[in-house]
Amino acid sequence: MLRKIQETASWLLSHTTERPTIAIILGTGLGQVAKDIEVTASFEYSSIPHFPVSTVEGHTGRLLFGRLGATPVLAMQGRFHYYEGYDMPTVTFPLRVMHEVGIRTLFVSNAAGGMNPAFSVGDIMLIRDHINFFPEHPLRGRNLPFGPRFPDMSEAYDRQLLARAHAIARSHGIQVQEGVYVGVSGPTYETPAEYRMYRILGGDAVGMSTVPEVIVARHQGMRVFGVSIITDMGVEGSIVEVSHEEVQQAANAAQPKLATIIRGLVAGLA
């Protein structure tokens, strides 16, 4: 694993002169945030040595190097989900490579079902914390020498970035929510009883990604900012049939607001 990570990182570093310290994982329907990036190098996942290949509709599968405003960034257009059948080391392989190419701050976005009754479809939820409900832990196995055996998770999501995101949203008149993201394997959406359970356990939104990536990012000491687009509601009385298309549509509609927040955060880190 270590050798593969290093080979992939060296390959990337020899194929671009960009040296970003910020990476953005563009989740479902948020691929268009990539349009804000002035791309200087673009790599199809299939062309990168050892990189897994994305299989989900709506996930293009490209690693982009470029500038967001004046700031160098690396963006993953399309991610790897556990439900696709990848094991955790594969799901989180790109995060390991990111660390090796010099990434120290991670921005991550996803689509999620809202369980907090104050939320509505189309809302943006800044992630304050998460609950890991995946059946396999991404750090299970031999500890890779990028971080401690027993990583601290007392502040998985950086409080300073969270506060700045609130300030940016306020100054642009963008309404945001804040809450706890529950990460599950999927690929089924939840039954009403499951939504209720995750709500009782302390979740505000539930989705099928992000948690493994954030855990691996934190293992490596990266600062993390995460955001969910609420694409459907898992609150008793407002639960309706969910389709992947509707999830993507709702995520698309929230894109401009999310792009504003991410641009602001990145500019603040420059």
**Closer CB to ligand HPA, 51 or 189, in the complex:** 189
Spatial CB neighbours of 163, under 8 Å, sequence gap ≥ 6: none
**Closer CB to ligand HPA, 73 or 180, in the complex:** 180
Q: Give the x/- contact pattern for ligand HPA in 202-231, rule: CB under 6 A.
A: ----xxx----------------------x
Sign of CA dihedral 125, 127, 131, 136: positive
**Closer CB to ligand HPA, 113 or 138, in the complex:** 113
Of positions 18, 84, 213, 232, contacts ligand HPA by CB under 6 A? 232
Instruction: Name beta bridge partners: 66.
Output: 39, 73
- Asked if 116 interacts with ligand HPA (CB under 6 A), we say no
Q: Shortest gap between Cβ of 131 and ligand HPA (angstroms)? A: 13
Q: Position 256: which residue type?
A: P
**Closer CB to ligand HPA, 86 or 189, in the complex:** 189
Query: How many residues interact with ligand HPA (rule CB under 6 A)?
Result: 14
Give the whole-angstrom CA distance, residue 123 versus residue 11. Answer: 39
Of 5-13, 76-84, 185-193, 261-269: span binding ligand HPA (CB under 6 A): 185-193
Closest alpha carbon to 95 in 173, 24, 3: 24
Q: Cβ distance 198 to 169 under 8 Å?
A: no
Let me know how many helices (H) and strands (E) the chain has, helices first: 7, 9
Q: Shortest gap between Cβ of 234 and ligand HPA (angstroms)? A: 5
The footprint of ligand HPA on residues 96-115 (CB under 6 A) is: 111-113
Give the whole-angstrom CA distance, residue 184 versus residue 205. Answer: 11
Q: Please give the residue whose beta carbon sits closest to ligand HPA in the complex.
A: 113
Give the whole-angstrom CA distance, residue 224 versus residue 162. Answer: 9
Of positions 64, 88, 168, 247, contacts ligand HPA by CB under 6 A? 247
**Closer CB to ligand HPA, 113 or 147, in the complex:** 113
Q: Cβ distance 7 to 50 under 8 Å?
A: yes
Q: Shortest gap between Cβ of 95 and ligand HPA (angstroms)? A: 20
CA atoms within 13 A on the CB side of 247: 20
For residues 75-106, one letter each, b for 16 or more C-beta atoms within 10 angstroms of the residue's C-beta and e for the rest, the string is bbbbbbbbebebebbbbbbbbbbbbbbbbbbb
The footprint of ligand HPA on residues 44-63 (CB under 6 A) is: none
**Closer CB to ligand HPA, 24 or 121, in the complex:** 121
Q: Shortest gap between Cβ of 115 and ligand HPA (angstroms)? A: 8
- Asked if 190 interacts with ligand HPA (CB under 6 A), we say yes
Query: What residue ranges bind ligand HPA (CB under 6 A)?
Result: 111-113, 186, 189-190, 206-208, 231-232, 234, 242, 247
